[in-house]
Structure 1
Amino acid sequence: MTAVVGTRDLRRPAGHAVRVLAVAACYYGAGRLGLLRRLVVEGAVVTPVWPPTGVAVAALLVLGLRCWPGITLGAFFSVLSLSAPAPGLVVVLFGQTAAPVCAVLLLRRARFRTDLSRLRDGLALVFLGALTSMLIGATFGVGLPLLMDELPPHAFWAAWLAWWVGDAMGVLIVTPLLLLLHRARWPPRPVRWKEATALTVVACCLVPLATYSPASVLFLVYPLLIWAALRFELAGSALCALLMSVLATVAATDGAGSFAGLSRVQVLVKLQAFNGATALTALLLSAVITEQRNTRRSVERACQELVEVLEHLTAGEAPPPRPAPDTDARPGPGGTP
């Protein structure tokens, strides 16, 4: 018994260390992907979408707050890939770590479910996890260069807004997709595979046309996004939103299509407006549809149980025992109902 307990005690720190290193590796890898497409706004290097914030929030929701050192470690190596260590590096790392930790604490306070099956979960992720919590990272990340006279005062708000929106977009686009992958069952069931294939083909043809067309027809992607949310809920809408955001970001940083002939600030504003609209539409619409379908299934089950009870009472028999509650109604790892 002593040997078994000792082995378990050794495995727990080792398992925690592996999780921390995995979070750091995923954060760094997402950072390298995000840095492939970046813009210079008022002398500050920003990314239209910063995927590591989405990775960090999803990791803390799934693995727990104890994995926060992995975020700090991943952010450290991400900064090193851009420049040499500076005296204020600790401040930047604090902001990058505190933002997702604050996001998870606020989401837990709001009883957030990681399956995003309710409208309140989508609203909580938008306003608490993305828009509110990411203020911390932007404030520390842009405020430090301002205090060290590395950023002129007139450029503060433009750089701060770009940093904040990039972090928020990372949460809105990446976090739902990672939570979906965590809860997915493998191998996936071939449900409506013909329609899914048709949706994929249409998306691969329409989205590049809308983003690279000089006629400014980005609005053409929204019927596609609605189709994906109506038929495939979060799985379809999240993947479509990711494809749209990636292609729009590539076109914007290349100055092609609808973004041709615009200044850096105009490109960033137009791109972030598009990314924000697609992410919000995908997340909130899929949450509303999922909630309505779950409510309809609950009503149908209740009606079926009522019919069975009435049939047994009419026949003079004792009603059958009620079945166990549905496991789908149980809270996810991120909160309680």
Structure 2
Amino acid sequence: MTSVWLHRPSLLHLALFGVTYVLAAGFAQLLAIVPGTGISIWPPSGLFVATLILATPPSWPWWVLAGSLGEFSANVLWFHNPLPVAVLIYTGNALEAMVGAWLVKRTCGRPVRMETVQEVVALIVMGAGAAPIISATMGSATLAWFGMQPFTRAWPLWWIGDATGVLIVAPLALVVFQSWRGDARLSAARWTEAGILGMIFLAVAGLSLSGYLPFAYIIMPPLLWAAVRFEFKGAVITLALLALITAAFTVSGVSQFAGDPESQRHKQIMLQLFLVISAFSALIVAAISRQYQRALLTLRESERQLQQLIDAVPTLIWCATPEGVPCYLNKRAMDVIGATVKDLLAPDGSRSLTIVHPEDRDAAEKAYAHAFETGEPLLWRYRQRRANGPHRWVESRAEALRDETGAIVQWYGVSVDIEDMMKAQEALRERERELSQLVEMVPVHIRRLTPEGNPTFFNKRLLDFFGLDSVSELDKPGLSRLTAAIEALVHPEDAGKLLATVHKAVATGEPFSLKYRMLHADGTYRWVDGRGEAVRDEHGEIVQWYAVSLDIDDQVRSREELSLAQENLAIASRAASLAELSASIAHEVNQPLTAVVANSLACQRWLSAEPPHLEKAQKTLGLIVRAANSATDIVRHTRALFRRTASTRTSTMPASVITEAHNLMAEEAARRRVRVTADVERDLPPVSLDRVQIQQVLINLLRNGMDAVEAITGDRTIGIRMRRLGGVVQTEISDHGPGIEHPEKVFEPFFTTKAHGMGMGLAICRSIVESHGGRLWAEANEPQGAIFIFTLPIEGAPAS
């Protein structure tokens, strides 16, 4: 119920339907020319069927309700049937309308617009043929039941009356309700034609139906004319006019279908058949005309779209007769070349190639003539004139259209602009030329090999190297080109290794690299560095190999000369090392010997005194012995250092080494008026060292400090500081002398800033410290002077 209520039509539409139903019933009453039947044409049936066809099924109950009101009103006004009779008759009418509408919509399968033959046939067969059977059966049975008329007498007239109403009124209603606004307005010519047709139709209808013309069906030509020219609108209007004129003449008694009471029943049947045949013919012809017009419009639309496609496609399309004479150009062709078909024709009617560049015209004419004479497809490239610019390259293709006998009907061709492609190809060719020149001129030997390793290409530089004109000169019967080339062009000592290397690379696909000797055109062998790598396709398959070889003969010879020079340098270096060793020994031994001489002179003075100072002399002799032993130890340890023999190292407390060095230098410091201070951190861990060598380092650094402060006035102080830093013991010897200009250079052998120095002391000290796993370097002291710092690793801890 909710669905029915939601689909309720507007009250205005329901009211209009009811009023029209009543008027249509009144019109039917006017045509009741057979006494006792009440109807000859029943227009409400056509109105009812058309309404339900247009309405949605859920709204049908409302239309049935409105129809019942119209039916009962008409019964009161016109028919005066008992209420049970009126109810039963309307039930048959309503069932007829619903079944007819359902059958028509079911058969068409889409909204009915009366535009196809299928829709017209469905309306005729289902709506006007099958559906009225229900109404005729129920109405005739009702009349027979109530004793008003026999069933067999009433049923034919009832059925034909309803069918006629459906055929005349339903199409009119459908066109008026649905299709009238959709069509374009008529032109003046069409209005004129409609007026002439209307006058002819009215004249023929009046003459034929009034009895002046003996044959009523003479109305068919103008009726069909209206159906053909104006389709359904013309058909339904003329049918409605025909029904009205027929009714008017029949009611007035002047029609061919009016007569005496004995023949009136037969006349009424003939009237109904006349209207049925007229409606059937007009509707079928209108449907055929409409379908033809729609097909014609579809064809024209297809032609328009095809023409738009041909004009829009970015190519020049042309047609020619079987003799090759141009007969069509698409719009783009005319716009591009600035010419029409007439411009492509010579005065004698033959083809003219004026749009072709003069340099290409003769060749193009021969190509066209050959194609048109032989019927073979045409393919030719030439330069074509443009309407707004210079000639451009195009590619023309044409093929012949043949009939079923193989005769040529027409030629169809296209001309595609290939100017950009031609420029790209020219650029590609230029690029290929540049690449070829690059390959030929690059100072590298380039070769191309097959996937099996056989050479197929040598660049010009490689051919000139071998003295060959072509790689094919290497071919030998029974040998692959690779084997023949290696045997002929590679040094015998390198040939086997090169062949094995290439075979391995071919088998594995891995790059290869090898240095070998190749035979030059002058008969000499030259060293080359050869490398090769495979080129693969998108599937990883090897397509070919490319290999290069670079002449390295000059580099090889240069390396040989360099090797010889290095050997000579090594001999000179060993001689220099021997001199350096001698100088270092002399430098280190010179210091204790100087002490021996000085102490000997002192001892001599103590013994020459009166009386002799034996105690002091004895003490001085002890110093002489110690200095002599020190010289012996220096010689022994220096020899061990330079011979890289193992030195004697023991676990030693570093503070004791400082104390011994300080005591050894105490007298010299006092003599040179230099004060030596020591700052040694407590509980320093033991260090593995050679006591004599580390003392030698300390003494050298202290003596250098004394030399630095000798020229200054004031306090001459040398500081010694020893402390632990991480895994090392660091010792610092500082002075306030003039400082060092080149802190790193002073450690180089034979570099000295002293007038009589040898430049070996600091070099030897660094060698000793580094042999212990430590470091020795120099820094600037603040505010002036220098600091020499060295580190020694603590036992069991890594040096930092």
User: TM above 0.5, one fold?
Assistant: yes
Paired position in structure 2 for 1:205: 203
Distance between the aligned counterparts of 1:294 and 1:187, measured in 2? 12
What letter corresponds to residue 113 of structure 2 in structure 1? D
Q: Is the 8 A contact 1:88 1:144 kept in 2?
A: yes
Structure having greater relative contact order (Cα 8 Å, sep ≥ 6): 1
Helix, strand or coil for the counterpart of 1:150?
A: coil
Greater strand share, 1 or 2? Answer: 2
Change beyond 3 A, Cα 1:84–1:260: closer
Paired position in structure 2 for 1:323: none
Distance between the aligned counterparts of 2:243 and 2:298, measured in 1? 35
Q: Is the 8 A contact 1:252 1:267 kept in 2?
A: no
Change beyond 3 A, Cα 1:87–1:49: closer
Distance between the aligned counterparts of 1:59 and 1:129, measured in 2? 12
Paired position in structure 1 for 2:38: 45
1:171 CA displacement: 0.9
Greater helix share, 1 or 2? Answer: 1
Match of 2:100 among 86, 100, 103: 103
- For 1:179-213, what per-residue CA distance to the aligned partner results, in whole angstroms no more than 9, with x for missing partners? 11122129972321111111112122221111002
Match of 2:242 among 231, 241, 244: 244
1:260 CA displacement: 4.7
Helix, strand or coil for the counterpart of 1:57?
A: helix
Paired position in structure 2 for 1:76: 72
- For 1:137-166, what per-residue CA distance to the aligned partner results, in whole angstroms no more than 9, with x for missing partners? 1111110121233324xxx22311111111
- For 1:204-236, what per-residue CA distance to the aligned partner results, in whole angstroms no more than 9, with x for missing partners? 222111100254221221111121112111111
Q: Is the 8 A contact 1:225 1:282 kept in 2?
A: yes
Distance between the aligned counterparts of 1:185 and 1:131, measured in 2? 29
Paired position in structure 2 for 1:21: 15
- For 1:160-180, what per-residue CA distance to the aligned partner results, in whole angstroms no more than 9, with x for missing partners? 111111111111101111211
Helix, strand or coil for the counterpart of 2:256?
A: helix
- Greater shift, 276-285 or 216-225, is seen at 216-225
Map 1:147-226 onto structure 2 (within 5 A). Answer: 147-152=145-150, 156-182=151-177, 183-185=179-181, 189-191=185-187, 192-226=190-224
- Greater shift, 122-131 or 138-147, is seen at 138-147
Helix, strand or coil for the counterpart of 1:264?
A: helix
Change beyond 3 A, Cα 1:275–1:13: closer
Distance between the aligned counterparts of 2:129 and 2:222, measured in 1? 26
Helix, strand or coil for the counterpart of 1:280?
A: helix
Distance between the aligned counterparts of 1:221 and 1:157, measured in 2? 32
What letter corresponds to residue 74 of structure 2 in structure 1? S
User: What's the TM-score, normalizing by structure 1?
Assistant: 0.82
**Identity level (%):** 25
Distance between the aligned counterparts of 2:272 and 2:119, measured in 1? 23
Paired position in structure 2 for 1:305: 305
1:86 CA displacement: 3.0
Distance between the aligned counterparts of 1:107 and 1:14, measured in 2? 22
Match of 1:54 among 15, 32, 46: 46
1:125 CA displacement: 0.6
Distance between the aligned counterparts of 1:218 and 1:44, measured in 2? 24
Structure 1 stretches lacking a partner, 5+ long: 1-8, 317-337
What letter corresponds to residue 170 of structure 1 in structure 2? G
1:301 CA displacement: 1.4
What letter corresponds to residue 14 of structure 2 in structure 1? V
Match of 1:30 among 24, 28, 31: 24
Change beyond 3 A, Cα 1:198–1:159: same
Paired position in structure 1 for 2:226: 228
Distance between the aligned counterparts of 1:88 and 1:13, measured in 2? 31
Paired position in structure 2 for 1:5: none
Superposed CA RMSD in Å reads: 2.4
- For 1:49-91, what per-residue CA distance to the aligned partner results, in whole angstroms no more than 9, with x for missing partners? 2111111112222233422211222112222221153334322
Helix, strand or coil for the counterpart of 1:116?
A: coil
Distance between the aligned counterparts of 2:87 and 2:217, measured in 1? 42
Q: Is the 8 A contact 2:53 2:102 kept in 1?
A: no
Change beyond 3 A, Cα 1:87–1:176: closer
Q: Is the 8 A contact 1:165 1:272 kept in 2?
A: yes
- Greater shift, 131-140 or 188-197, is seen at 188-197
Match of 2:122 among 117, 121, 124: 124
Helix, strand or coil for the counterpart of 1:220?
A: helix
Paired position in structure 2 for 1:271: 271
Paired position in structure 2 for 1:143: 141
Paired position in structure 2 for 1:292: 292
Q: Is the 8 A contact 2:29 2:38 kept in 1?
A: no
Q: Is the 8 A contact 2:226 2:238 kept in 1?
A: yes
Distance between the aligned counterparts of 2:148 and 2:223, measured in 1? 42
Helix, strand or coil for the counterpart of 1:40?
A: coil
Change beyond 3 A, Cα 1:216–1:33: same
- The number of residues matched between the two structures is 302
User: What's the TM-score, normalizing by structure 2?
Assistant: 0.36
Q: Is the 8 A contact 1:214 1:258 kept in 2?
A: no
Distance between the aligned counterparts of 1:293 and 1:228, measured in 2? 14
1:256 CA displacement: 1.8
Q: Is the 8 A contact 1:249 1:271 kept in 2?
A: no
Higher Rg: 2
Structure 2 stretches lacking a partner, 5+ long: 317-800
Distance between the aligned counterparts of 2:225 and 2:152, measured in 1? 37
1:113 CA displacement: 4.4
Q: Is the 8 A contact 1:75 1:96 kept in 2?
A: no
